[in-house]
A and B are shown apart, each in its own frame.
Chain A
Amino acid sequence: MQTETDLIQIKGLRDGLLITLASGEWRALQDLLFTQIDQRSSFFRGARLALDVGSQVLRVAEMSKLRDELSEREVSLWAVLSESPKTIQTAQLLGLATRISKQRQQVEKTSRPAEKGRDENALWVPRTLRSGTRIEYAGHVVVQGDVNPGAEIVAGGNILVWGRLRGSVHAGASAGEQQASLNSGASVSALDMKPARLQIADQIANLPKKVQVKSPQVIGLKDGEFLVKPWQGK
């Protein structure tokens, strides 16, 4: 029999509380969490909460209900950590953080299956990314839709936007803190290339403000220099 402390672990962070939930039935875990908070309401009131849900798969309705119920208890949910790509996507949709900084600069990554083979995995995003959306993925990112100003994509691999790219993109980003994992062979492609900011590996592009090219383009690095190529089907 597991005790409550096995199921819910609470840890103080520099900028909030981290609650780690054990695996189990979501409803029961959620109730247990609320009971804990209600019992120690003065401790939790006004807290910023990061929740590590492990491999739990959460949908938008479930997560937004959780956030609302927490907000009724005056606890604000700011991050959801998970091993499940679906849950991470849900959290990103709701504008929640999906990783937390342990110290300034140093970033904790939840281990995702995608990291094992960054060459093979791609995240499929079949919608327009609006301002304030941030997509982070260790593999490639494919967006079917626009990337609007104020949206961000950070990918370990390549980024392909089947639409207009007007936000910030970072391809070939390192998965951890190791510079070695930077991928300078990565590229960014878009049907209409007007990024607010474009970075490949550790190189930040200095893009001319008025590019009139409306045709698809691929941008990559060659000997540390940015190379812009119009896309031509062969």
Chain B
Amino acid sequence: MSAQIVTITSGKGGVGKTTAIASLGIALASRGQKVVCIDGDIGLRNLDVIMGLENRIVYDIVDVVEGRCRLRQAMIRDKRMPELFLIPAAQTRDKTALSPSDMLRLGDELREVCDWVLIDSPAGIERGFKNSIAPADRVLVLTNPEISAVRDADRVIGILESEEKGSPSLILNRVNSEMVKRQEMLSPEDVLDLLAIDLIGVVPEDQGVLVAANRGMPIALEENSKAGQAFRNIAARLMGEDIPFMDLDSSDGLWKRISKLTGRS
């Protein structure tokens, strides 16, 4: 096996990185892939809660790096998906407990045992972010259609480009097509126009995401949720399938225009 390592980052906090990681993990695992999710937010761990695995944690990522346990022992198997694992962050340490080269070593070790490694980067552009992108083969930048979030995403993309990580792909999260229509929210076109990178997914605003997160049930598990469907589509695109963007609002030509913009139909 030789896993692809994918990091999701955003610059700004609270835009939905952790939710996205949990949902993409579920979506990839339900396609028969073996997936390891890593919580890169040492000191402020959340991914375990979103995945509903917080009471199963024995060892964490810092224990692995500092040699207190084997990699295998820190991989917590998901309750629902036998091929989905979580490596939790340490809650009692901070970002300096790991270095970029620790993450590179860990990434190389994980490459051998699974198909996908998904890394949840902490907000910011400091040590935790540097750690999270160090082993990545591919980086997904996630943003909301808000000016502040888009500016932070722009900064992060600039850093990724200067670190020669290649051009990242964009996930636009929490798009409210009603508000876009009323011109109260940046449209996906506005965001793409500024950031000028490839779009890999547009996730609609969905109150169900919060409810699901509080229950420890990633939204991708919910068959009828549009947000869940959007994450399942992103997972399919990661696997190289050409999936058209969803038509979230048939009365508005918005989604068709996005399709045109990105060359998918």
Contact = CB atoms under 8 A, between A and B. Distances in A.
A71 B155 CA distance: 21
A71 B194 CA distance: 32
Contact of A93 (B101, B154, B162): B162
B158 interface: yes
A132 interface: yes
Interface band, chain A:
20 to 34
A133 interface: yes
Contact of B127 (A71, A132, A149): A71
B184 interface: no
Interface string B120-160: 00000101001000000000000000010001101101110
Given A128-B196, A131-B154, A148-B154, A68 B159 contact: no
B20 to A, nearest CB: 22
B223 interface: no
Contacts of B163: 60, 64, 94
B238 to A, nearest CB: 24
A113 to B, nearest CB: 24
B151 A94 contact: no
**Chain B: number of interface residues, binned into ranges:** 20 to 34
B155 A68 contact: no
B203 to A, nearest CB: 23
Q: Is the interface of B mostly helix, strand, loop or mixed?
A: helix
B158 A132 contact: yes
Interface in B79-124: 96, 99-101
Nearest to A166: B194
B164 interface: yes
B101 A130 contact: no
Which of A71, A129, A132 is the most central at the interface, judged by chain B CB atoms within 10 Å of its CB?
A132
Question: Which of B100, B158, B196 has the largest number of chain A CB atoms within 10 A?
Answer: B158
Given A131-B151, A149-B151, A150-B154, A68 B101 contact: yes
Contact of B162 (A71, A72, A94, A146): A94
Given A68-B99, A132-B159, 18 more contacts: A61-B164, A64-B163, A71-B99, A93-B162, A94-B163, A95-B125, A95-B158, A95-B162, A129-B158, A130-B154, A130-B155, A130-B157, A130-B158, A146-B194, A148-B154, A148-B194, A149-B147, A150-B154
